[in-house]
Structure formats: structure tokens, C-alpha cells
């Protein structure tokens, strides 16, 4: 199996602080059947100022440590980019997942829909493929066909989704295309979090993850592991929960990128 999203590198973001914990995470992943892990520390200016060269060195160093420890995992460098206002600067020298054209991105909680769409367009213009991390956890994607707001809430919701200083969103906004639908229509792929299926992020996220899986919307999956404790507590229950899902066995058989996902050219 392949873990497409994991904060396993030590002392580089909000993941493990020590090499010891990174090695424990690696042991846990290997024990349940993972053989390859994409190392994806956060990249956001002003908080996690990671650069591709730094991540590549850290990945190579951890790979050497895994070999010495006898842990059978193959590591690839990557990063998880925040689609904020500073993202265009970081896109000048992007770190994709391994040697692929996939760029792992997440929707920040404070972002507007327009900003997210603009950043996705920039990725596509660069000839890269945006891979949206854990859409089931995104606050900006909570307003969808699985959540029908009461009429009394729509005014507040429109104000929350409108940039400060801009006119409010039109009354018919909520009946238009969902952001997730728009992103997929533009060519954005979706990466689901395995721990979402065990309820680690709450019942609503679990329901959304299951609904996305029902519709075959995910292209790949990742642990989004940030530490040994959370992985140990949530990974096995997540995998067990997936065995009870009609589509879950397909996830367990590979956690590989869905066939036909990437264009041939």
C-alpha cells in the first residue's frame, strides 16, 4: 500500500519532534502493510517555511535511518501546500509527490472560494495536477448536498463565504455548483484521509468521507499521520471500518492511485 500523505519527517512541521517518533510511525505503517510513504510536511509562509531542497535532504536522511532500523518503507519527498494568498510565490519552485506531476494542496480554513479557485488554476497552468488533501475535513466544503442549511442560516453562511469588503454572495449562491464539484471539473484530484473513516475527526467528517467513497470520488488515500500516538490509536480502526464499506476493500487492496487518473501526455 502507498501512503500519499504523511507528516513523518522529524522536526520540520507539526509532525513528530524526534527521529525516534518518526521511526515508530514508520514501524506502525509497515506493520499494517504500507510499503511506500510520501513525506508531506506543511508548506506555508510565515509558519512552516519549508523548501524543496530541505524536504529532499530530510527524506533522504530518514530513508537511511529506516534502512539501518530494518523498516521496509520506501520514502518519497513531497509537501502539503496551503492554498492561501502566499501560495503563488511557493509555486515558483514546487515540490511534487516524488517524481510525479501531483502537487498536494489543502484548503485553509480562512480562504475564500475565489482564492482557492485562482490557486488551482495557477497549478494547472504550470502543467501540474492538484491533489486536494482530505476534502472531507475542509470547512469551506461543508456546505454541500449532504448538509442542507436552514433558511434562517443562509444569510449568515453567505456572509461567511464572502471576502471582507466585497458585496455579499447572491441569494442563489447555495444552489450553484459546490466548490468540490468545481475543483473536480477543473481537473483537481481528491485524497481521502484513512483516519476519517474511523471517526477520528468527528462524526460529520466520517459521514462525508463515507459519502465521497460511496460516489467513488477519491483518487488515493493517506494516513495524514502527525505522530505515533494518533496513528496507533486510529489507523487499525480506520482500516477495519473500511472492510465494512462496499468500496472499502478496493482501498485496502492498494491505496494506490486509481487507474486512469493521470493523463498519458
The model's pLDDT over 105-114, given as tens digits with 9 standing for 90+, comes to: 999 988 888 8
- Residue 136: exposure state from Cβ atoms within 10 A (0-12, 13-18, ≥19): buried
Please indicate, yes or no, whether residues 129 and 171 belong to a single structural domain of this protein. no
Among 155, 177, 199, give the residue marking a domain's end.
177
Sheet holding 36-39, edge to edge: 2-6, 36-39, 74-77
Query: Is the torsion defined by CA of 134, 140, 141, 147 positive or negative?
Result: positive
* pTM given for the model: 0.84
Please indicate, yes or no, whether residues 29 and 156 belong to a single structural domain of this protein. no
Q: What is the pLDDT of residue 135?
A: 94
Sheet holding 129-133, edge to edge: 42-43, 80-82, 102-106, 129-133, 189-193, 220-222
Q: What is the pLDDT of residue 7?
A: 98
Q: Is the residue at 27 inside a domain?
A: yes
For residue 167, what are the domain limits?
Answer: 144-177
Please indicate, yes or no, whether residues 71 and 102 belong to a single structural domain of this protein. yes
**CA–CA separation, 60 vs 165, rounded Å?**
46
Q: For residue range 49-90, what is the model confidence (pLDDT) as tens digits?
A: 999 999 999 999 999 999 999 999 999 999 999 999 999 999
Instruction: Count up the domains in the chain and report the number.
Output: 2
Please indicate, yes or no, whether residues 155 and 61 belong to a single structural domain of this protein. no
Q: For residue range 211-257, what is the model confidence (pLDDT) as tens digits?
A: 889 888 899 999 999 999 999 999 989 988 888 887 777 766 656 56
Q: What is the pLDDT of residue 259?
A: 52
Compute the CA torsion angle 76, 67, 231, 261 (nearest 10 deg): 30
Q: Is the residue at 6 inside a domain?
A: yes
Please indicate, yes or no, whether residues 163 and 237 belong to a single structural domain of this protein. no
Q: What is the pLDDT of residue 152?
A: 39
Q: Is the residue at 122 inside a domain?
A: yes
Q: For residue range 129-171, what is the model confidence (pLDDT) as tens digits?
A: 999 999 999 878 755 433 444 333 444 444 444 445 544 444 3
**CA–CA separation, 58 vs 226, rounded Å?**
16
User: Does the pLDDT value for residue 265 go beyond 70?
Assistant: no
Amino acid at each position: 500500500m502507498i501512503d500519499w500523505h504523511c507528516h513523518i519527517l522529524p522536526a520540520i512541521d507539526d509532525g513528530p519532534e524526534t527521529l525516534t517518533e518518526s521511526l515508530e510511525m514508520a514501524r506502525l505503517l509497515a506493520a499494517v502493510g504500507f510499503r511506500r510513504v510520501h513525506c508531506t510536511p506543511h508548506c506555508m509562509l510565515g509558519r512552516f517555511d519549508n523548501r524543496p531542497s530541505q524536504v529532499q535532504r530530510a527524506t533522504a536522511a530518514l530513508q537511511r535511518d529506516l534502512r539501518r532500523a530494518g523498516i521496509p518503507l520506501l520514502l518519497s519527498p513531497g509537501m502539503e501546500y496551503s492554498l492561501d494568498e502566499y501560495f503563488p510565490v511557493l509555486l515558483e519552485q514546487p515540490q511534487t509527490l516524488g517524481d510525479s506531476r501531483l502537487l498536494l494542496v489543502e484548503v485553509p480554513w480562512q480562504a475564500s472560494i475565489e482564492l482557492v479557485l485562482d490557486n488551482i488554476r495557477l497549478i494547472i497552468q504550470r502543467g501540474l495536477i492538484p491533489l486536494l488533501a482530505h476534502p472531507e475535513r475542509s470547512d469551506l466544503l461543508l456546505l454541500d448536498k449532504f448538509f442542507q442549511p436552514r433558511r434562517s442560516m443562509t444569510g449568515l453562511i453567505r456572509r461567511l463565504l464572502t471576502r471582507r469588503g466585497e458585496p455579499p454572495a447572491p441569494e442563489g449562491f447555495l444552489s450553484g455548483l459546490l466548490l468540490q464539484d468545481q475543483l473536480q471539473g477543473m481537473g483537481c484530484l481528491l485524497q481521502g484521509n484513512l483516519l476519517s473513516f474511523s471517526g477520528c475527526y468527528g462524526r460529520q467528517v466520517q459521514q462525508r468521507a463515507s459519502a465521497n467513497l460511496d460516489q467513488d470520488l477519491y483518487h488515493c488515500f493517506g494516513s495524514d499521520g502527525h505522530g505515533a500516538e494518533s496513528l496507533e490509536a486510529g489507523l487499525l480502526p480506520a482500516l477495519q471500518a473500511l472492510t465494512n464499506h462496499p468500496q472499502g476493500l478496493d482501498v485496502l487492496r492498494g491505496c494506490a492511485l486509481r487507474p486512469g487518473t493521470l493523463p498519458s501526455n
